[in-house]
Amino acid sequence: MNIILRRTGFLILLTALLFSCRKDKVIPEPENITAVSGLYVLNEGNWGSNKCDLDFYDFKNSTYKRDVYKAANPEVTLGLGDTGNDVKAYGSRLYIVVNGSNKLEVINVKTAKRIGKVDIPNCRNIAFYKNKAYVTSYNGYVAVIDTAALTIAAQINVGRQPEELVVVGDKLYVANSGGYTSTNYDRTVSVIDLTTGTKIKDIDVAINLHRLKADSYGDLYVSSRGDYDKIGSNLYVIDTKTDAVKKKFDIPAGNLAIHKDIAYVYSAEWSNSAGAYIITYNKINVKDEVVLSGSFITDGTQANIMMPYGIAVDPASEDIFVTDAKDYVTPGKLHCYTSSGKLKWSVTTGDIPAQMVFVK
């Protein structure tokens, strides 16, 4: 019963009786599962829905908790916000890039309590270097955040609509998409010298770049989304010693996670000829840079995934985690597979489960 009801007497009471009163929202109970690892899952939520929140898998208690940000920060108006796009741990903190709310949210990695936030318009992804956070903004720059003060210390201009970024040595690499102009996509990876904070180079790769991951051999794996029509997605390798493209895999690539010598790559791409989405789960040996045969899910359970949307590999157990965004408008799923590709367990997440981060 709400306050209005108590105050306004007969008419409203009658109304309430006739039509049942408003109910309070129920926070879902944690779901019990058995597993070997634990992690944060960022549910993006639909654009404009303000349904972004973090789920947390607690490996000690084997529980999967929904909406841990809201539970830890009930006083934050409207919660974590709208359309989370990236989450990473750095030191004792977790940094969440909330694209639709134009902010970087900083929380305690253990308690999920809010430490602060930094407003960054149209922010996308995050990387760290020497107590500074680097956040891409679709407005064409990387915001340099002082993690102690939680303020923007500088802006470094890069290409159009930059997406993922990664630090290798003293250099920051930024994948530019140019996604706002479908007739003239950006094609470059910008290279920033972190010692001087200036852009030193643009590496021409392919149109509409998106994912960017580093392996342990000084190579970068960068994905191109293509033009969603005639040009399909693809995966390229940049050698950071020469800052040049050294290989093109010619496989569809939507997202990837690299663990030790293996890159796990999935793709869901519309095919005009098939009239359907073609979903693939590939493995690449990053040491020899060759595509390995077969799917990384081996027990046939990939048929249950409608729309793979996030991937992570547990560095301890080597379990593979894949999220399923389904039709984007219903709650998603998190699936855990063994390193040999057998499904261990699945759990229901929030809307559009995407980025994941393992925490100690």
State which of positions 237-266 bind another protein (CB under 8 A).
254
Torsion sign, CA atoms 83, 88, 89, 95: negative
HSE of 212, CA atoms in CB hemisphere, 13 A: 32
Asked if 155 interacts with another protein (CB under 8 A), we say no
Best CA proximity match to 39, nearest among 324, 253, 313? 313
Best CA proximity match to 339, nearest among 323, 322, 326, 356? 322
**Least Cβ distance, residue 174 to another protein (angstroms):** 16
Please report, as residue ranges, which positions from 290 to 349 form the binding site for another protein (by CB under 8 A): 306-307, 325-331
Cα distance between residue 228 and residue 176, in whole Å: 17
**Least Cβ distance, residue 130 to another protein (angstroms):** 28
Taking the least distance from each CB to another protein, the nearer of 44 and 314 is: 44
Asked if 46 interacts with another protein (CB under 8 A), we say yes
Which pair of structure tokens corresponds to residue 68?
Answer: 């841990």
Instruction: Name the DSSP class of 300.
Output: S
Asked if 151 interacts with another protein (CB under 8 A), we say no
Taking the least distance from each CB to another protein, the nearer of 180 and 217 is: 180
Taking the least distance from each CB to another protein, the nearer of 52 and 214 is: 52
Please report, as residue ranges, which positions from 189 to 218 form the binding site for another protein (by CB under 8 A): 210
Number of residues that bind another protein (CB under 8 A): 72
Could you identify the residue written with the tokens 């989405």? 277
**Least Cβ distance, residue 143 to another protein (angstroms):** 15
Determine how many CB atoms are found less than 10 A away from the CB of residue 244: 12
> Which of 17, 34, 48, 288 contacts another protein by CB under 8 A?
48
Taking the least distance from each CB to another protein, the nearer of 38 and 100 is: 100
15-23, 106-114, 283-291, 312-320 -> range binding another protein (CB under 8 A): 15-23
**Least Cβ distance, residue 307 to another protein (angstroms):** 6
DSSP assignments along 186-239, one per residue: --EEEEEETTTTEEEEEEE--SSEEEEEE-TTSEEEEEE-TTSSSS--EEEEEE
**Least Cβ distance, residue 101 to another protein (angstroms):** 4
CA 95 to chain centre: 12
Asked if 9 interacts with another protein (CB under 8 A), we say no
Taking the least distance from each CB to another protein, the nearer of 140 and 341 is: 140
Asked if 116 interacts with another protein (CB under 8 A), we say no
Asked if 12 interacts with another protein (CB under 8 A), we say yes
Give the list of residues 6+ apart from residue 20 with CB closer than 8 angstroms, or none: none
Taking the least distance from each CB to another protein, the nearer of 67 and 319 is: 67
Cβ proximity of 148 and 213 under 8 Å: no
32-40, 47-55, 107-115, 239-247 -> range binding another protein (CB under 8 A): 47-55
Binding mask 17-36 for another protein (x = CB under 8 A): --xxxxx-xxxx--------
> Which of 108, 270, 285, 359 contacts another protein by CB under 8 A?
270
Alpha helices in 27-77 (DSSP H): 68-72
Asked if 160 interacts with another protein (CB under 8 A), we say yes
Which pair of structure tokens corresponds to residue 208?
Answer: 């509409």
> Which of 124, 187, 225, 335 contacts another protein by CB under 8 A?
225
Which pair of structure tokens corresponds to residue 335?
Answer: 């699936």
Burial bucket for residue 94 (CB in 10 Å: 0-12, 13-18, 19+): buried
**Least Cβ distance, residue 287 to another protein (angstroms):** 28
Give the list of residues 6+ apart from residue 252 with CB closer than 8 angstroms, or none: 232, 233, 234, 267, 269, 278, 280
Please report, as residue ranges, which positions from 67 to 96 form the binding site for another protein (by CB under 8 A): 74-82
> Which of 91, 116, 121, 218 contacts another protein by CB under 8 A?
121
